[in-house]
Homo-oligomer: A and B are copies of this chain.
Amino acid sequence: MAGMTSPVLDFWFDFASTYSYPAAMRIGALAEGAGVRVRFRPFLLGPIFKAQGWTTSPFNLFPAKGRHMWRDLERLCAGLELPFRRPEPFPQSSLTAARVALTGLDHGWGEDFCRAVFQAEFGEGRRIDDTDTIADILSELQIEPEPALAATQSDEIKTRLRAQTTRAEELGLFGAPSFTTADGELFWGNDRLEQALKWAKTQMGQDQVGARVL
């Protein structure tokens, strides 16, 4: 485990984001190898897409782009030996999962929960917009589902997720996954994970004040 003076990288993702899946599955081992502390930052892409005039995923709005993405993701997962199954429907609401993740990140089980949600959605084709799926995932992680699900209806968690999304937009995010460093660099996409970690290493010991919203 990296200590308090380790360099920090913020990992921004939406559970509905396809390329956030390989990023979430890869980031732990890569960050540990690089000696970088990662902070998981779930947010909602929906409001950011809406601000760009999009009412659904650009992969649905632009079919040629979408066709390539699904094939690319399939090739990518095969190369990483990650299970892959195209979720139906796509995208699915990530609201409940994101709110549960915030609670989990406060209590030490957030990162495992995030990986389990991505695996359920893109590895097994399960419906993450279904509260039952989220409850099952929590149970599989030995977490009592009821309190975490009840918290998704609290004003505190709702407000925090909105604030995190606002912060993402302020940092210039327009898609996911994205990575931000203490000195304000933004890296977009699973393909930039290694580069972002390398960059973060140069920020040794600095605090990431700008990204601290929670």
Contact = CB atoms under 8 A, between A and B. Distances in A.
Interface in A59-75: 62, 64-65, 67-68, 71-72, 75
Interface in A39-79: 52, 62, 64-65, 67-68, 71-72, 75, 79
Interface stretch (A4-12, A94-102, A116-124, A170-178): A170-178
Contacts of A52: 62, 64
A62 B174 contact: yes
A68 B75 CA distance: 26
B64 A174 contact: yes
Contacts of A191: 189, 191
Contacts of A188: 68, 72
Interface string A16-50: 00000000000000000000000000000000000
Interface string A181-196: 0000111110110010
A52 B188 CA distance: 23
B195 A67 contact: no
A9 to B, nearest CB: 15
Contact of A68 (B62, B65, B72, B174): B174
5 contacts: A64-B173, A72-B192, A75-B195, A79-B195, A189-B191
Given A64-B173, A71-B186, A75-B195, 11 more contacts: A52-B64, A62-B174, A65-B174, A65-B175, A68-B174, A68-B188, A71-B185, A72-B187, A72-B188, A72-B192, A79-B195
